[in-house]
Copies of this chain bind each other. A is one copy, B any other.
Amino acid sequence: MDLHPVLINGSWRSADAPTGSFSATNPTTGEALEGRYPISSRADIEAALKAAAEAGPIMRALTPETIAAFLESYASKLEENREAIVQAAHAETGLPVEPRLSSVELPRTTNQLRLAARAARERSWTRPTIDTATGIRSLHEPLGGAALVFGPNNFPFAFNAISGGDFAAAIAARCPVIAKVHTSHPTTSRLMAECAHEAAQEHRLPSGAIQVLYRMDHALASEMIASPAVAAVGFTGSRSAGMTLKAAADVLGKPSYLEMSSINPVLLLPGALAERGEALAGELFASCMMGVGQFCTSPGLVLLPGGALGEAFVQSATEKFASGTPGVLLGKGVRDGLEESVQTLIDAGATLLCGGKIGPEPGFRFQPTLLKVSASAFVKNPHALQTEAFGPVSLLVICESESEWHGALSALEGNLTGSLYTATQNNADDALYSQLAPALRVKVGRLLNDKMPTGVAVSPAMNHGGPFPATGHPGFTAVGIPASMSRFAALHCYDNVRAERLPSLLQNKNPTGKTWRLIDGVWTTADVA
């Protein structure tokens, strides 16, 4: 059977001596989908690395306008091919065409590419800093090598290695991208990559600017990271895979940006429960069901008080979860992993309130699942009880006293988000909020009030990052243009460099008249006086 080609060095070509092949599975039916894709051998890897190494200096020398035009053209082509792409993603992920794939995720993805284009043009992401007294000037410039991006299974567009946030940020920062797309949706990725490739040719990006591989042995992935052609790693996926890639990058001092795991604690304070407990149970359920619980920001841990208030919430939430239908998961691996994680939680002392079982075939489904545990049990076994159950699962932690709230917070690992719900009609929760919020603050990247964490706006102020093990560095975000771009840049200082040799952004005249620069401590779009 013919294998689909890989995109290496500017052309779609047959994989060179592939070590195997695979096809995707329709998770709704459990049946294999058409199209076989290669598992790349070292020959493909080496060819891609060589092309990326050659592309690096050319990409750095491109104008931001060229990069921006490419990104916009790519976004348009995705829209032109929306129907085929959405159908492929639906078949490969089981996610609904409407609204999710067609009206939410694809528009979000093209919007992100266009925001990246605008940021590239505007140039302020480079944070040019000029110190006229010392003659020292600096800014952020491309790393000088390629970004190796590993995409996850759960967002076939918005986090795809060939179209998502890491891709947009790295390309807008003028780094070549080697996209290792997720094996669960190769056809979706191929159709998107065809658009990217066409746009790259139109705008004459170097041939190694954008390359696509479908799969390779883990050892070869680590070898790629070690190559001088690769300057940084972007990864979204499981903690175990992330840590393997991180180790390969760390030993060579290469930045790796990993989004690994997060259970996104939600704190329901007593006043909020008293005021709107039933509504909050509905909010929690709706949030847990988004993408069948397969969001990085799905609320997998809920802290709430005991007593009658807590009991009423537990009962209401249990009813809602019990009434939910087992949705289609992204694949067999997700379903089986979920079964295992739920068992881990139960073995660690959690009580199953409802669900907990694999859903009916065909396809891969899991029941909406709710568990509970006392805070006192939680703090005795916090590691196992923070196992990420990637799917429609949440664990309620019952805090019987203020000290139990504190104990549970202290035992928390790093997370992407943390939510606090409090009374809106009175100040019943204010004192407890003041106690808990600082403790939660340092454990999470994004703190929310009265809002579930699912839904990650593409905003310059967004932080889709957080302390380990949510990510590998608490100072960077994977979502939010232009902040996410700085991950793929190095700080470059120019000391006594002759004026005409400075990058245009560091010359006295502001080259765009619009770029924000920090000149002698003042942010301005003006020229150096």
Q: Is B134 a contact of A445 with CB atoms below 8 Å?
A: no
Q: Is B495 a contact of A446 with CB atoms below 8 Å?
A: yes
A447 to B516, CA, bound (A): 23
Q: Does A467 contact B (CB under 8 A)?
A: yes
- Closest chain-B Cβ to A507's Cβ sits at a distance in Å of 14
Contacts of A445 in B (CB 8 A): 490-493
Q: Is B441 a contact of A492 with CB atoms below 8 Å?
A: yes
A147 to B255, CA, bound (A): 20
A144 to B491, CA, bound (A): 25
Q: For the complex formed by this chain, how many copies does it contain in all? A: 2
101-157 of chain A: CB within 8 A of chain B: 129-131, 133-134, 136-138, 140-145
Contacts of A433 in B (CB 8 A): 501
Q: Which of B142, B471, B501 contacts A253 (CB 8 A)?
A: B471
Q: Is B473 a contact of A134 with CB atoms below 8 Å?
A: no
Contacts of A255 in B (CB 8 A): 473-475
Q: Which of B130, B441, B496, B521 contacts A451 (CB 8 A)?
A: B496
Q: Does A32 contact B (CB under 8 A)?
A: no
Most chain B C-beta atoms within 10 Å of own C-beta, residue among A131, A255, A457, A474: A474
Most chain B C-beta atoms within 10 Å of own C-beta, residue among A57, A129, A524: A129
Q: Is B130 a contact of A461 with CB atoms below 8 Å?
A: yes
A486 to B465, CA, bound (A): 16
A141 to B475, CA, bound (A): 10
212-265 of chain A: CB within 8 A of chain B: 246-247, 250-255
Q: Is A253 a contact of B472 with CB atoms below 8 Å?
A: yes
A257 to B491, CA, bound (A): 14
Q: Does A386 contact B (CB under 8 A)?
A: no
- Closest chain-B Cβ to A506's Cβ sits at a distance in Å of 9
Contacts of A141 in B (CB 8 A): 441
11 A-B pairs with C-beta separation under 8 A: A136-B459, A136-B461, A136-B462, A253-B414, A253-B472, A445-B491, A447-B495, A449-B501, A451-B496, A461-B493, A523-B523
A residues in contact (CB < 8 Å) with B: 56-57, 60-61, 129-131, 133-134, 136-138, 140-145, 246-247, 250-255, 414, 417, 433, 437-439, 441-443, 445-451, 457, 459-463, 465, 467-469, 471-477, 483, 486-487, 489-498, 501, 516, 518, 521-524
* Extra inter-chain contacts (8) besides given A254-B468, A447-B495, A460-B518, CB under 8 Å: A131-B462, A143-B442, A252-B468, A255-B475, A447-B494, A451-B495, A461-B493, A475-B489
